[in-house]
Amino acid sequence: MPTSLKDTTTLHNGVEMPWFGLGVFKVKEGSEVIESVKSAIKNGYISIDTAAIYQNEEGVGQGIKEAGVPREELFITSKVWNSDQGYDSTLEAYETSLKKLGLDYLDLYLIHWPGKTKYKETWKALEKLYKDGRVRAIGVSNFKIHHLEDLLQDAEIKPMVNQVEYHPHLTQKELLAFCQKEGIQLEAWSPLKQGQLLNNPVITEVAAKHGKSAAQVILRWDLQNKVVTIPKSIKEQRIIENADIFDFELSLEDMEKIDGLNKDERVGSDPDDMSYGFSE
């Protein structure tokens, strides 16, 4: 199990990805995102996850620059948005993201949502970026098992990561097992269900037992399920607290109690319905 913020999981191509990072979904462009990224890096985070659609890549880049940590020590992720899916448009979107971030390469680039018809062309573009050495790892986001099976039929390179909504109300056991079998690292977005799980009595009881917060217990549950996690916060105190999860361990009983909260309930869109911004 990871014992610090610097600990990594090895993706199937040998690249090391931190188990824990900062997400910046809904963090406002400008000083808010710059400060959030700077606080995270200052407090030992090395992984930052953004996306074109968050419209804060410039601020993320600025925060990285101001933090003053060597680029090669960081792990930076962005994602191609739905309306940019397709081969040429994905290659262009990648260049735009890099320019906004002020970086020469990304550590991980993801297809943000599967949509219906274009993700194979989009994947070919990601494979090209990867083969050309422009990005260290490539993957997908919000892909269900059927999307992955379909993609794998034609993919030359298997996705290294699948980033999905994942929390105790959406435990995605079958998807996790499928990804583990295929050597695809599962990563959680919205691990705290946008704060909705923080007063859950089962979780608060486990937290009290360990002298930890509900958020820390949920994030620890992610890691013990071998799922990479990227909680967001704009408050430095919370950024520090979220990462303070390496000094305790949930028992098998704790894990099973939390697993038992599953309701297959999403806070985000269902990937099968999410074709917004696609020309199908």
SS (H, E, C) 172-228: CHHHHHHHHHHCCEEEEECCCHHHCCCCCHHHHHHHHHHCCCHHHHHHHHHHHCCCE
SS3 category, 17: strand
Q: Kindly name the residue from 45, 54, 94, 130 that is annotated as catalytic.
A: 54
HSE-CB of 240 using CA atoms within 13 angstroms: 6
Buried b / exposed e across 238-262, counting CB within 10 Å, b at 16+?
A: bbbbbbbbbeeebeeebbebbeebe
11 neighbors 185 (Cβ within 8 angstroms):
yes
Nearest to 62 by CA among 25, 91, 32, 96: 32
What would you report as the CA-atom Rg of the chain, rounded to the nearest whole angstrom?
18
For residue 101, the SS3 value is helix
User: pLDDT 10s digit of each residue in the chain, 280 long?
Assistant: 889 999 999 999 999 999 999 999 988 999 999 999 999 999 999 999 999 999 999 999 999 999 999 999 999 999 999 999 999 999 999 999 999 999 999 999 999 999 988 999 999 999 999 999 999 999 999 999 999 999 999 999 999 999 999 999 999 999 999 999 999 999 999 999 999 999 999 999 999 999 999 999 999 999 999 999 999 999 999 999 999 999 999 999 999 999 999 999 999 999 998 765 443 3
Residue 195 CA to residue 168 CA, distance in Å, equals: 12
Distance CA 111, CA 122 (A): 7
Is residue 116 within 8 Å of 138, Cβ to Cβ? no
Determine whether domain 8-196+227-233 maps to CATH 3.20.20.100.
Answer: yes
DSSP label at residue 52: G
Please tell me the chain's helix, strand, coil percentages from 3-state DSSP, rounded to the nearest 5: 40, 15, 40
- Is 54 among the catalytic positions? yes
